[in-house]
Structure 1
Amino acid sequence: MAHRTDSGSRRDATSAGPEKLPLGQIILLAALTAVLPASIDGLSPALPAIAAALYTRAAHVPAAISAFVISFAIAQLLGGMLADALGRRPVVLAGLAIYVLASVLALFATSFPLLLAARALQGLGAAAAVLLARTIVRDQLPREAAGRALAQIGIFFSCTPIIAPLISGVLVSVGGWRAPLLAMAVLGVVIGAASLLRLPETLARDKRLPFDGPGLLGSFARLSRSPALLAYVLANAFAYSGILLFSAAAPQVMIDHMGLGALDYALLFALSTMGFMAGNAASFRLVRRRGVDGTLRIGVPFQLAGPIAMLVATQLWPEAWAALIVPQILYTFGWGIVQPQAQAGALSTHPESIGQASALLGFVQLAIAAVIVAVFSRLTGGTSLALALGMAFCGAGALLCGWLMVGRR
C-alpha cells in the first residue's frame, strides 16, 4: 500500500480545487457534527430524574455520559477504517441508523444497566456522523478552503451546546427523563433522512483502500508515528481538554461553592460558549490571510491567556462568577480559532487516508481529555484555583504543540 510523505501532503494541500461548499451542505455537515453535543449536553438535565426512576445512586448516573463518550472514542477508529474502504456515505447512513435504534432502546430501558448498554451503542452510531463530517469537507476542498469551511460549520454547530441543555430541561419537566431520548431519536431520523437525500459520496472508488484488517491497523500505526499529523492532533486534544474540564468541574465550583442556582449556571455556561462562535468567525477570516498554521498559532495563546486571567481574577474576587466566565470566554474564543485549523491541518497530512486520520484525531482528542478531566476534576475539590491550574495545563500543552510542533516537519 502506497503512503505519501508529508512533503507530498503539502503539495496536495496547496493544489487547486473548489474554494467553498454549498450552504446547504455546510448546514447538513454542521447537523451531523451537532449529534455529539446534543447527545451529551442533551442528557445532562435528565440525570437526577434517571437516578430516581431507575433506583440508581446519583454518583453512578454520570456513567450514562461516560458510556457514550468511551464508545464514541473507540468507534471512531473502526469508522475511519470502514470509511476509507467503503466510502463516506454508507458509513454515515449506517451510523445514523444505529444511533436511532440505540436511542429507541434507551428510551424504553427499564434498568440502569440496559440504559448504559443503549448509550454505548448510541455512541458507536454517533461516531460515524461526527468524524465523517470533517472528512467529507477535506475530501472536497484544498487545505485552506477546508479550514474556512470547518470554521463555518463551527459557527452553525456552536449553538448546540447552548440550546441542547435548555431544550432538554424543558422536555424533562414536561415529559420526564425519557423525553430527551425521544428527541435524540427524532433528531437522528431527521438528519438521517436529510443525509439520504442530500449527502454526496466524496470518496471515489479508485481512491478507496482495501478492507484488510492487518493492513489497515498497520496504516493506523504509521499515521500515529507521523510527526506532522501528531502535531495537529495533540494541539487539538490539549485545547479541547480545557473545554471538557471546565464543563466537568465548573458546576461544583459555581453551584456548590459560589452558591449559584442550576439555571443561573446554565445561562452563564451558555454565555461562555459565545466565545467559541466568535472564534470560529475570526478563524474563517484569518485563514485566508495567514493560512492554516498561522491561524492556529494565533489561537493557541488565548488558551493560555484565559487560564492565567482566571488564576489572577479568582484570587482577587473569589466569589465572583465573572472571575471564571470572562476568562473562559477568552479560552473558548481561542478554541474557536484553533479547532477548525487543527482539523484541516491534520486531514491534510495524509490525503490517501483522510478517514483514518480523522478517526485518530477524534480518538486522541477524547482519550487525552478523559485522562486530564479524570485527574484534575478529582483535584479540583470545588476550588476555582485548582480548576484554573488544570486549564492552564491544557492551555500550555496546546501552546507548546501549536508553536513548537505544528509546521516543523
Structure 2
Amino acid sequence: MDATRRSGLLLALLVGLCGLGEVSTQLLLPSLAAIEHGLAAAPGSSLVALSVFVGAFGVGQLFFGPLSDRIGRKPVLLAGVATYVLASLWMAFAHSMPEFIAGRALQGLGACAALVVARAIVRDVWREKAGPIMAITVIGMLCTIMLSPVIGGLIAAKAGSWRAVVVATVIIGIVALLACTLLYRESNQAKDPLAGRLATLAGNYRELLKGAEVRAFSFAIAGTYGAMFCVIAGSSRVFVGQLGLSPTQYGLVFGGIVSGLITGAILSNRLIMKLGPARLVGIGTALVATGALITLAVLLAAGPSVPGLLLPQVLLTLGAGMVLPGSVAGAVIPNPTRAGLAAGFIGFAQMAGATLSGLLLSALQNDSALPMIGLNVTFAVAAFGLFRLARAHQARAVALATD
C-alpha cells in the first residue's frame, strides 16, 4: 500500500475515532424520552446519563493521554475501543436507569481513550503542520454528528425500540476496533517512561499550565462546548416536547444547527496556518457569544420557535467550528514530546464545560426553553471573556519579561 493511501486511510480512521463519543450521544438524542419510559425512569433522568458520559469522557482523558505518551498509542487505543464495545452491549441489555447510566459511564471512558489518542496521533504524524489536519478531523466528525440524530431517529422509528439504537453503537465500536487493529501502526516513537505516573502527573499538568496560552485555549473550549452542550442535551425536549416536531424532523433541525460547525471547521482548515490558533479562536468566541445573545433576545421577544432557535444557533456553531480545532491545535502543537498530556488536558477542559452545563440544565429544567438558552448565553459569554482575559494576562507577562 503506497504512502498516500496509507495516510488517507489513517486520516479516515482518526476522523471516526474523534467522532466516536459524539456519535454515541447524537444517535440517542431522539430516543431520550423513550429510554426514560422503557426503563420506568423519572422524566429528565436521561440527562444524567448524558452528563455522566461526558464526565467520564473528560476525566479519563487526563489519564489516557499521558499513558499513551508512556506505553504507546496503540495499546491504549485498542483497550479503549474494546471497553466502548463492552459498555455499549451492557447498555443495550440494561433493565434500569442506574444500570444504563453505569454502562454509559464506562462507554464514555472507552470513547475518550479513542479521542485523546487520535489527537495525539495527529501530532505524531503531521507534526508542525497538524493544525489543518486537526480541522479536517473536526469536519469529518461533524458530518457524522449532523447525520447521527437523523439516523438515530430512523432506527428508533423502524425498529420500534431505543435498544436498536444502542445496538448500532455496538456495531460502530466493533468496526472501529477492527480498523484500529488493521490500519494503525504505532506512531509514538519517543515514549516517555515517566509519563502517566500518578506520582508525577499533577506536576506535569502544573508545568503544562504555566503556559498562559494553554489556559486561554482551555477557557475557550470549555465555555464554547458548555454553550453547545446545553442545547445538545435540552433541544430534544424543546423541539419535540414543546414545539411538536417528530424525532426525524428534530434530527433534520439538529443537523441544520451542526452545519454551522462544519462551515466553521472548513474555515479553520483554510485559515489556521495564516491567522494562527489564537486569532482564529478569538474570532470564534466572538461569534459564539453573539449567536447565544441573539438567541436569547429572540426568545424573550417572540417566544420559542424553530427558526428563532435554529438560525442564531447556526451562528454560534459557526464560531464553535473555529474554536474547537483552533484550541486543540493551539494546545497540542507546541508540546511535541507531551502531545498526549496536552491533548488530554484540552479534552478534559472541553468535557468539563459540557458536564457542568448538563448538570445545571438537569437541575434547572422546566417546561420552557429559557433554562437551556440562559445557560447557552452564560457559557458563551464566559468563553469570550475568559479567553480574552487570559490572553491579556499573557501579553502583560511578555511585556514585563522584555522590559
TM-score normalised per structure 2: 0.88
Which residue among 122, 147, 157 is the counterpart of 1:163?
A: 147
State which of 81, 85, 91 in structure 1 corresponds to 2:76.
Answer: 91
Which amino acid letter does the alignment assign opposite residue 93 of structure 2? F
What's the counterpart of residue 235 of structure 2?
250
1:326 maps to 2:311: yes
Q: What's the secondary structure of 1:141's corresponding residue?
A: helix
Q: Does the CA contact (< 8 Å) of 1:228 and 1:349 recur in 2?
A: no
Residue deviations 1:325-352 (CA, integer Å, cap 9, x gap) = 1110000000111111100001134333
Report the RMSD for the aligned CA atoms in angstroms.
Answer: 2.7
Query: Relative to structure 1, is the Cα distance of residues 402 and 172 closer, same or farther in structure 2, using a 3 angstrom cutoff?
Result: same
Pairing 1:338–2:336 present:
no
- Cα distance, 1:319 vs. partner? 4.5
Q: Percent identity?
A: 32
Contact 2:220 2:384 in 1 (8 A): yes
Q: Secondary structure at the match of 1:147?
A: helix
**Shift, 1:207, TM fit:** 4.5
Displacement, 1:383?
A: 4.4
Deviation, 1:261, is 4.2
Letter in 2 for 1:96: V
Within the alignment, does 1:23 sit opposite 2:8 as a pair? yes
1:312 to 279, 282, 297: 297
Mapping for residues 256-335 of structure 1, pairs under 5 Å = 256-335=241-320
Cα displacement (A) at 1:30: 0.7
C-alpha change, 1:388 and 1:40, in structure 2 (3 Å) is closer
Which string of whole-angstrom CA distances, capped at 9 and with x for unpartnered residues, describes residues 163-200 of structure 1?
Answer: 22222223233162321222111111111111111123
Which shows bigger deviation, 317-326 or 195-204? 317-326
* Structure with higher helix content: 2
Q: 1:139 aligns with which of 109, 124, 127?
A: 124
Query: Could you tell which deviates more after superposition, 160-169 or 300-309?
Result: 160-169
Aligned partner (choices 194, 198, 201) of residue 186 of structure 2: 201
Deviation at 1:56, TM superposition (A): 2.8
1:107 alignment counterpart: 92
> What runs of 5+ residues in structure 1 fail to find an aligned partner?
1-20
Distance 1:58 1:119 in 2: 18
| Structure 2: runs of 5+ lacking an equivalent | 1-5, 399-403
Match of 1:371 among 356, 374, 379: 356
Q: Partners in 1 of 2:33 and 2:375 — Cα distance? A: 27
The one-character-per-residue Cα deviations of 1:10-46 (angstroms, maximum 9, x if unpaired) are xxxxxxxxxxx93322211110011111211222333
CA distance in 1 between partners of 2:362 and 2:90 (Å)? 31
Distance in 1 (alpha carbons) for counterparts of 2:227 and 2:220? 12
Range with greater deviation from structure 2 (281-290 or 58-67): 58-67
| 2:379 pairs with 1:394 | yes
Q: Distance in 1 between matches of 2:382 and 2:75?
A: 37
Equivalent position of 2:401 in the other structure: none
Task: Give the count of matched residue pairs.
Answer: 391
Q: Secondary structure at the match of 2:45?
A: coil
Please say if 1:187 is aligned against 2:151: no
Structure 1 stretch displaced more, 317-326 or 253-262: 253-262
Shift of 1:273: 0.8
CA–CA separation in structure 2 for the residues paired with 1:68 and 1:403 = 30
C-alpha contact (below 8 Å) 2:53/2:108 kept by paired residues: yes
**CA positional deviation for 1:91:** 0.5
Kindly state the Cα deviation for residue 366 of structure 1 after the two structures are TM-superposed: 1.5
Whole-angstrom distance in 2 between the partners of 1:384 and 1:184: 29
On the 8 A contact 2:190/2:337 being kept in 1, the answer is no
CA distance in 2, matches of 1:217, 1:196: 32
- CA contact under 8 A between 2:221 and 2:349: conserved in structure 1? no
Contact 1:296 1:341 in 2 (8 A): yes
SS in 2 for 1:221: helix
Letter in 2 for 1:288: M
Greater mean alpha carbon deviation, residues 108-117 or residues 67-76: 108-117
* Structure 2 CA distance for aligned equivalents of residues 67 and 387 of structure 1: 18
> 1:258 Cα deviation (Å)?
4.0
Cα pair distance change 1:380/1:99, threshold 3 Å? closer
Aligned-partner Cα distance in 2 for 1:71–1:282: 31
